[in-house]
Structure 1
Amino acid sequence: MLNSVKKKILIIEDEEKITEVIQSYLEKEEFEVHICTDGSAAFELFEQINPTLVILDLMLPGVNGEEICMRLRSISRVPIIILTAKADEQSILHCFNIGADDYVTKPFSPRQLVARVMALLRRTEEDVRLLSNIYSFNDGDLIVDDLKHEVKKQGEVVSLTNSEYKILVSMIQYPKKAFSREELVCRALGYDYEGIDRVIDTHVKNLRQKIESNPKEPKYILTVHGVGYKFGGE
């Protein structure tokens, strides 16, 4: 277990056999597991228990998993692992595009899912630290407060996923460095990430939508052709 305090995992899945297996494996690792089988009830339970991580199936009665993911991401940076039967690249990238931090395709190994939960929580807890607590760019247009883990664009708080936040912070640490996709995968998703490195492009696209005044002409997350990306704020 990552520490002595039990971490709460919310499983939003309507297939009883799947939830029973996941719950059993997670409880062996001393997680506190809560289960929701109806998408409509997910938000109330989420607010009640304030989970450390969410495991979310896309196909649900009531409110579907995509809407749940997007709504949760609009109010929280809680890590979200998507369960999906679709394994093609477009579907996987879509999961990240709606705010997921990781995905597992069905059918899956319960041990692999638990390993992904542990890895994602390690990445969440091992915070990337800035050299200063607060960074301000372009006369206060973009402010990153590392103490609060808060990002503001023109004075308004911007909701970023953990991966998006770590990508942004990594670039801020080394503003003149051009990062390859592989480097950003390691920094944002961890060395044990086994997915496609092009997922970084999706995270960058989402990040630009949130912090750039004109995402088509970015000032902060700049493309370095043939290499990857770098930070351009001043």
Structure 2
Amino acid sequence: MSAHILVAEADERQAQVLRMYLRSEGHEATIVRDGRAAVETARRLRPDLLVLDAEMPKVGGHDVCRILRQESDVPVLMLTARSGEDDLLLGHRLGADDCVTKPYSPCELMARVGSLLRRVKRSTPASDAAVLRVGPITVDPLRQEVVGPSGHHVACTRGEFAVLEVLASEPGRVFTRGQLLGRTGGRVSSMSGRTMDMYVMALRRKLEPDPRRPQYLITVYGIGYKLTPGVASGADGAGPGPSPVLPVRAPRSSGRVSCPAPSRRR
């Protein structure tokens, strides 16, 4: 699977080694040397994955991850020189999808890259031709139509439909506001978390029997929103929650594997 990978690594030698290994796997690699360039390049190029050194000049790696997570769901593999559990958990809390401790085996890193890319491919929203059904709610991306729990067509704005389509693509998954903004691909009118809350409230008024006690479009406080086939009214609370805090994910095993150096391309 060929991908465009942004590598944010302050050490020039290490960055070139990463580029060589990524190219040997068939990927395109763009290198940046500081955190500010990492944020600007990620916004401009929209890479398939970001390999991010935690210790970056100008803007630290943790801050880069926090900034991008507010506006994008680009997968982030963080490189950290600190092996303590608290440091690894910090990376995950800020939104990193995986963390690798330095020094690392390039072969191990390529395995982690491949695993993240496969995970992203599996979670990509269904194609426009697929009708999405979540309980009594139907979302038809091809016809841009929504049928609500009452069985009637629901008129949605372009932004409302974009948000609902993302939520319906993975029923039960909790999306942060930043992830929703990133997945809607610019179809919402403003890139802000509060705008996302307004879209959700508008959708509740159109889809929920009682918008104050939502059964389908659920707030998960401190994280974001999810679309479910139906829950007990008010089980997770109603209305937009506070600013999103990404859930902690357990770090993966960092067992190393040896592998031969890739052949250099001429």
Q: Percent identity?
A: 33
Scaled by the length of structure 1, the TM-score of the pair is: 0.59
Secondary structure of 2:95's match? Answer: coil
Map of 1:146 onto structure 2? 168
Scaled by the length of structure 2, the TM-score of the pair is: 0.52
Could you tell me how far 1:39 is from its partner in structure 2?
1.4
- 1:43, 1:92 → 2: CA distance? 21
Written as runs of structure 1 = structure 2, the 5 A alignment for 1:91-106 is 91-106=87-102
Could you tell me how far 1:160 is from its partner in structure 2?
3.8
| Unpaired runs of at least 5, structure 2 | 127-131, 140-145, 150-162, 181-219, 226-233, 238-266
Map of 2:261 onto structure 1? none
- 1:55, 1:82 → 2: CA distance? 6
Map of 2:178 onto structure 1? 159
- 1:26, 1:79 → 2: CA distance? 16
Could you tell me how far 1:43 is from its partner in structure 2?
2.1
Map of 1:209 onto structure 2? 222
Q: CA distance change for structure 1 residues 208 and 112 in 2, over 3 Å: closer, same or farther?
A: farther
- 1:29, 1:16 → 2: CA distance? 20
- 2:221, 2:100 → 1: CA distance? 26
Secondary structure of 1:121's match? Answer: helix
Map of 2:116 onto structure 1? 120
| Unpaired runs of at least 5, structure 1 | 162-206, 213-217, 222-234
- 2:174, 2:177 → 1: CA distance? 5
User: What is the aligned residue count?
Assistant: 159
- Provide, for residues 122-171 of structure 1, a one-character-per-residue CA deviation record: whole Å limited to 9, x for no partner: 1111128775365999xxxx96623499x999xxx81249xxxxxxxxxx
Q: In the alignment, is residue 7 of structure 1 matched against residue 26 of structure 2?
A: no
Written as runs of structure 1 = structure 2, the 5 A alignment for 1:176-215 is 208-211=221-224
Map of 2:24 onto structure 1? 28
Q: Would you say the 8 A contact 1:152–1:158 is kept in 2?
A: no
Secondary structure of 1:119's match? Answer: helix
- 1:102, 1:74 → 2: CA distance? 18
Q: In the alignment, is residue 70 of structure 1 matched against residue 66 of structure 2?
A: yes
